């Protein structure tokens, strides 16, 4: 069978092909490094923010797979640059002849598979991020008061840092704090009749108030922060509860985190797409260069015209050469000639 996608490569096109692969390989190494850096940055951001994701949310898998894909792309780029540069020198190329085969297989199966998986995660996982944040933020707000409960003692500090750093309040707004008990029972006076009435009026026995933690306060507000009795229009002079952004952070943390993490995932997905394209070009170029040089016994400066290709004799032949045994059909046996009949003696 004829080779798959053959390409005739005289001397000068072979040299230009090697030079182009060298340039593309360094670009691949650069984008692979950027992929690894962006993945590492997202992993670092998820260390504190992972508390506000549901345990079942698969979003943290994106930077982990992308980090592995970036590392493989970086290695493929460096090796491709070395192989293409060595192919310009007949004395330096022979040691690379045994490396190109495993490099092409590892780059195609390992690197390509990781890049495709990471791209799929970058496209699909941000859609599930909203539900993960919805559940995770609700759990974090509910455990805000549990400063002495093992496993939740850091919830208050993490929520306060989140609201101060990202300028947000509550899950979808400051009124989310009205539906959870965020003051620990340790700091409630059991002899206070107002406290007793609030607890008894709640079916779950929670102490609910129309107030917010200090981390919801906007430091740019011209007046002191108002944290309690926010739903009472007569409690605070010259304060309109319909415009809390003058005193509190206006946005909820769900929308802020969703936009922030989706922005990071979008940037990472764009870099992954460029890395995938460069890796495909480098691997294709290396394959053509490898097969072209094998036709000249590895001598790139040979004057003869050689042919590069993807597979030597079609996909079927390529699989057979990869290790699938094949037994040719037996040829039909030619009919044996009858022995010459000796003439009978005349009677």
- Phi and psi dihedrals of 326, rounded to 5? -145, 130
Q: State mean pLDDT over 28-32.
A: 95
- Reduce the DSSP state of residue 306 to 3 states and report it: strand
Residue 90: the pLDDT is 63
Q: What is the CA radius of gyration of the chain?
A: 35
DSSP state of 225: -
Residue 223 clears pLDDT 90, i.e. is over it: no
Residue 333: the pLDDT is 44
| Number of domains the chain contains | 2
* Predicted confidence band of residue 327 (pLDDT cuts 50, 70, 90): very low
224 and 112 in a single domain? The answer is no
Longest dimension (CA), the chain: 149
13, 21 Cβ separation under 8 angstroms: no
Structural domain range at position 102: 7-141+261-309
Distance CA 5, CA 308 (A): 8
297 and 180 in a single domain? The answer is no
- Which burial class, exposed, middle or buried, applies to 179 when counting CB atoms under 10 A from its CB (0-12, 13-18, 19+)? middle
Span 282-325, pLDDT tens digits: 998 888 877 777 766 655 555 566 656 665 765 444 434 443 33
Q: Which residues contact 9 (CB under 8 A, 6 or more apart)?
A: 17, 288, 292, 305, 306, 307, 308
- Share the mean pLDDT of the chain: 80
Residue 324: the pLDDT is 38
228 and 113 in a single domain? The answer is no
Residue 326 inside a domain? The answer is: no
In sign, the C-alpha dihedral spanning 106, 110, 113, 119 is negative
Residue 148 inside a domain? The answer is: no
254, 171 Cβ separation under 8 angstroms: yes
12 and 117 in a single domain? The answer is yes
Residue 187 inside a domain? The answer is: yes
Using a cut of 0.85, tell me whether the model's pTM lies above it.
Answer: no
Distance CA 134, CA 310 (A): 49
More confident residue, 238 or 148: 148
- 222: number of Cβ within 10 Å: 7
Residue 339 inside a domain? The answer is: no
Report the candidate in 337, 288, 331 with the shortest Cα–Cα distance to residue 310.
288
Token pair belonging to 178: 């009205």
């Amino acid at each position: 069978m004829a080779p798959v996608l053959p390409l005739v490569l005289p001397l000068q096109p072979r040299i230009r092909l090697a030079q182009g692969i060298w340039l593309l390989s360094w670009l691949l190494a650069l984008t692979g490094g950027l992929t690894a850096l962006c993945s590492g940055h997202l992993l670092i951001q998820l260390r504190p923010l992972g508390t506000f994701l549901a345990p079942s949310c698969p979003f943290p898998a994106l930077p982990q797979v992308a980090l592995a894909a970036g590392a493989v792309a970086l290695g493929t780029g460096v090796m491709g640059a070395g192989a293409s540069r060595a192919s310009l020198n007949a004395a330096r190329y022979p040691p690379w002849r045994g490396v190109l085969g495993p490099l092409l297989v590892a780059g195609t199966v390992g690197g390509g598979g990781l890049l495709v998986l990471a791209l799929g995660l970058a496209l699909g996982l941000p859609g599930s991020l909203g539900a993960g944040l919805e559940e995770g933020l609700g759990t974090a707000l509910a455990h805000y008061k549990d400063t002495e409960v093992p496993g939740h003692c850091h919830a208050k500090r993490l929520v306060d840092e989140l609201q101060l750093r990202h300028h947000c309040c509550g899950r979808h707004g400051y009124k989310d704090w009205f539906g959870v008990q965020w003051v620990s029972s340790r700091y409630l006076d059991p002899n206070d009749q107002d406290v007793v009435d609030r607890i008894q009026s709640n079916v779950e026995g929670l102490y609910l108030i129309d107030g917010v933690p200090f981390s919801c306060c906007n430091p740019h507000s011209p007046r002191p922060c108002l944290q309690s009795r926010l739903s009472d229009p007569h409690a605070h002079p010259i304060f309109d509860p319909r415009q809390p952004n003058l005193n509190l952070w206006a946005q909820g943390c769900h929308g802020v985190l969703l936009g922030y993490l989706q922005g990071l995932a979008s940037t990472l997905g764009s870099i992954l797409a460029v890395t995938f394209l460069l890796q495909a070009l480098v691997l294709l170029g290396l394959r053509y260069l490898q097969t072209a040089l094998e036709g000249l016994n590895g001598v790139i400066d040979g004057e003869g015209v050689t042919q590069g290709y993807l597979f030597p004799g079609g996909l079927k032949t390529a699989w057979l050469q990869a290790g699938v045994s094949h037994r040719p059909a037996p040829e039909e046996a030619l009919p044996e000639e009858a022995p010459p009949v000796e003439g009978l003696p005349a009677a």
